[in-house]
Amino acid sequence: MKYLPLIWSGIWRKRGRATLMLMQVLVAFLLFGLLQGVKTGIDHVVNGLRADLYFVVGAQPGSPLPLALEQRIRAVKGVKQVYAENIFLATYQRPTQRLAVFATDFDTHWAELAGVKVSEGAAARLLQDRTGALVNATLAARYHWKIGETIPLQSTTAKRDGSTNWAVQDVGTFTTLTSSSKVVGGLDNVIVIRNDYFEQARLRQHGTALEYILTVADPHQGERIARQIDALSANSSYETRTTSQRAGVQTRLQSLGDLNFIVRAVVAAAMFALLVSSSAMMMQSVRERTGELAVLKTVGFSDRKVFALLLAESVTLSLVGAAIGLAIASQVVPRGVRGLILAGIGMPGSVVLAGFVIALILALAGAILPAWRGLRLQVAEALAGR
């Protein structure tokens, strides 16, 4: 610690150069934190998704499935629970205030599948009120909705009476608990209503569901069960495609490209550029300070101590810049990807640790040659200007 002022003064001997080096390190590790943080965070969330959760949708995107299919799916050996779901988009008061409405046969098992916790008494009130609605707690807080309040919604989904106004009663709230509820933006803008109310009130596509959500008893048998379910509607007008929640998310991510290659290539290029530039700047700094280093040796500093001081300068500057860059990235990552791919992604601690390790390695690698020059410096030649 007693050499810290000497190290700090050596770093800021040329403020312009030190600032430039600090900014280079900061930007490189900001880029590392953003890319690697998002990639690692996505991997953590995907790996945490339930392996026993499957979705049945139409082979043609958006095509409805008959409600009669539910009993046939339930009869497949290995299927535990099955729920029909209809989903439509709506707005509240203004066109910019969009939300999604899930219509399903809500019960405690559906809440478990969706990874949500319902407020006390809300489920019972929903069973008693056909026009009742469970509201995401975040959504309720945003619009100051209270239990018992009528929520007027507007949608392009028409009702039997020809209107597009859907009025539902707030019977309680729900909050998300697990990564199962964090797929593709999560449930932050969702209202859950009863499917029997939706089925009776809507104008078109009666007796259909947009999708089925189900669980299997043995996740290892999931793919076999999925094939059996799809075989139920093979060669019919409503062929299905059954996929696990995890596989569905991975497919959407693969459509973005090879994230591993992209992240590694960009990060490697940034770190190599940082290594070259920092090494060149450190070499220039040592050349300019030849006389000063000779004086340090003259007053009693050993060759190894001068060598260690030069390494310490590089390490300190690199770790400070990396810390700032990773700190900024840790704030940007959760906000930047919210609603884009997965909700609930944060900066994993492993990425922060890896960032500091890389910063240390780069600092040592970039300073080793300049520091070696300082180690081999001859006092007489340096003071003579040679």
Which ranges of the chain does DSSP label H, i.e. alpha helix?
4-11, 15-47, 69-74, 108-114, 122-128, 137-143, 195-201, 222-232, 245-254, 259-288, 290-298, 303-336, 349-375, 379-383
192: β partners: 102, 134
- Report residue 125: phi and psi, to 5°: -65, -35
Which burial class, exposed, middle or buried, applies to 146 when counting CB atoms under 10 A from its CB (0-12, 13-18, 19+)? exposed
Dist. CA 58–CA 69, nearest whole Å: 12
Tell me the per-residue pLDDT of 340-358, one tens digit each, with 9 for 90 and over.
444 455 667 778 888 889 8
pTM recorded for the entire structure: 0.64
Tell me the per-residue pLDDT of 293-323, one tens digit each, with 9 for 90 and over.
555 656 556 666 767 777 777 888 888 888 9
Nearest to 352 by CA among 116, 29, 51, 124: 29
Cβ-Cβ contacts under 8 Å for 185 (sequence gap 6 or more): 338, 339, 340, 343
Residue 349 and residue 284 in contact, taking contact as beta carbons nearer than 8 Å: no
159-198 residues labelled b (16+ CB within 10 A) or e (exposed)? eeeeeeebebbbbbbbebeebbbbbeebbbbbbbbbbebb
Compute CA 33 distance to the chain's CA centroid, rounded to the nearest angstrom: 12
- Report residue 165: phi and psi, to 5°: -95, 125
194: β partners: 104
Cα dihedral 41→45→47→50 (10° resolution): 180
Dist. CA 24–CA 18, nearest whole Å: 10
pLDDT digits (tens), the chain, 386 positions: 566 666 666 666 777 777 888 888 898 888 888 888 777 767 776 776 778 899 999 988 888 999 999 999 999 999 999 999 999 999 999 999 999 999 999 888 888 888 888 998 999 999 899 999 999 998 999 999 999 999 999 999 999 988 999 999 999 999 887 544 444 346 778 999 999 999 999 998 889 999 999 999 998 899 999 999 999 998 888 999 998 877 766 666 665 556 677 788 888 888 888 888 877 777 776 666 665 655 565 655 666 676 777 777 788 888 888 899 888 888 776 554 544 444 455 667 778 888 889 888 888 887 777 666 655 555 444 444 44
